[in-house]
């Protein structure tokens, strides 16, 4: 019988080592030569576990468990003392919860390992206790580069420092919400969407752990080019011209790529010169490039 991976109660497999070690302990504590445990879940699953050889005389002892119906059959001894029966039930409940949690944890970890997002778990101290392969690769890419990259007045933070700082604020109850969302700009110019969620606590209350979910979105130049065009009132077609200009394309190639005449390309360039206060392609490229290097208000730099 395979253990259930769902949230409903289940029965461990019949050869589960923890159950059989538990039966050995019952036999040693009670003096029984034979021990049989039967578990029944609320939806009717049945699990039977045996230790020793059956005897002619056995005594049945029902056990009160939280989620299972259980019966303990002992051979070679009389009645089981009430105190021992209560201890057996208490310990068995703990074992069943542990087995169930282990199975569910294995499934959750497998899901996070296969996730397309980078997943990190921070404990209350702000230390990383789990990182899936994508998160490992992302952190390695950041820490192998220059952690001091950026302008003197707004230096880059390493990704780990940025995430740890926000996770700590959530975990310490210093943020009046259970989650924090932002776009983070990495040192290589890429942008990731980030969400850090408080686990096991309430907003403004000290939590148990925090999960960080990171998803690559797009490159920084694309976002900054869009911001630049919005600032100067650049039309969609003019934005396409700027994009090709930044790629080093000439007038004829721009015309071919956009399926317009060279004359129209020049008209778009003249319009861009007027809107940006420039007089040549080199000046326009300089203005666009400078704008692309300015920090966007909605982005956090890492």
- pLDDT on residue 155: 42
- Name the residue among 235, 268, 265, 232 with its Cα closest to residue 251: 265
- pLDDT on residue 151: 35
- pLDDT on residue 153: 39
In angstroms, the CA 22 to CA 265 distance is: 81
Asked if residue 193 lies in contact with residue 217, where contact means CB atoms within 8 angstroms, the answer is yes
* Phi, psi (rounded to 5 degrees) for 291: -65, -35
Q: In tens digits, what is the pLDDT along the chain, a chain of 302 residues?
A: 444 555 678 889 999 999 999 999 999 988 889 999 999 999 899 999 999 988 888 888 899 899 999 999 999 887 778 888 899 999 999 999 998 888 888 888 888 888 888 999 999 888 899 999 988 888 776 654 433 333 333 444 677 888 888 898 888 888 777 888 877 766 555 667 888 988 876 655 666 889 999 987 755 566 677 778 888 999 999 989 988 887 778 899 999 999 999 999 999 999 999 999 999 888 887 777 666 545 444 455 55
- Name the residue among 241, 246, 244 with its Cα closest to residue 287: 246
How is 149-199 classified by DSSP, letter by letter?
-EETTEEPPPHHHHHHHHHHHHHTT-SSSSEEEEEEE-TTSEEEEEEEEEE
- pLDDT on residue 81: 80
pLDDT tens digits for 122-131? 998 888 999 9
Ordered by where they begin, the domains of the chain are 17-112 (no CATH), 117-220 (3.30.450.20), 222-295 (1.10.10.10)
Which residues share a beta bridge with 211?
121, 197
Residue owning tokens 């899901």? 111
pLDDT tens digits for 198-233? 887 665 566 688 999 998 775 556 667 777 888 899
Provide CB contacts within 8 A for 223, sequence distance 6+: 191, 296, 299
Q: Which helix (H) or strand (E) holds 272?
A: helix 262-276
């Amino acid at each position: 019988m395979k253990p259930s991976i769902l949230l409903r109660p289940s029965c461990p497999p019949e050869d589960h080592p923890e159950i059989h070690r538990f039966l050995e302990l019952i036999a040693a504590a009670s003096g029984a030569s034979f021990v049989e445990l039967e578990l029944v879940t609320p939806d009717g699953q049945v699990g039977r576990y045996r230790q020793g050889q059956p005897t002619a005389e056995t005594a049945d002892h029902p056990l009160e468990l939280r989620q299972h119906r259980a019966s303990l059959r002992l051979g070679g001894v009389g009645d089981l003392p009430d105190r021992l029966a209560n201890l057996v039930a208490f310990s068995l409940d703990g074992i069943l919860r542990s087995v169930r949690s282990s199975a569910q944890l294995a499934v959750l970890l497998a899901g996070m390992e296969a996730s397309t997002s980078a997943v990190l778990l921070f404990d209350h101290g702000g230390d990383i206790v789990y990182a899936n392969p994508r998160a490992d690769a992302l952190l390695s890419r950041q820490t192998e580069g220059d952690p001091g990259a950026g302008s003197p007045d707004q230096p880059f933070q390493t990704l780990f420092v940025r995430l740890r700082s926000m996770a700590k604020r959530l975990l310490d109850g210093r943020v009046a919400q259970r989650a924090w969302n932002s776009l983070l700009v990495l040192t290589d110019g890429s942008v990731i969407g980030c969400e850090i969620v408080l686990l096991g606590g309430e907003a403004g209350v000290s939590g148990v752990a925090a999960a960080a979910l990171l998803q690559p979105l797009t490159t920084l130049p694309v976002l900054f080019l869009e911001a630049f065009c919005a600032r100067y009132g650049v039309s969609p077609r003019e934005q396409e011209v700027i994009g090709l200009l930044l790629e080093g394309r000439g007038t004829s190639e721009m015309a071919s790529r956009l399926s317009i005449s060279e004359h129209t390309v020049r008209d778009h360039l003249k319009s861009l010169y007027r809107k940006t206060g420039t007089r040549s392609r080199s000046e326009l490229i300089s203005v666009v490039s400078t704008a692309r290097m300015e920090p966007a208000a909605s982005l956090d730099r890492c």
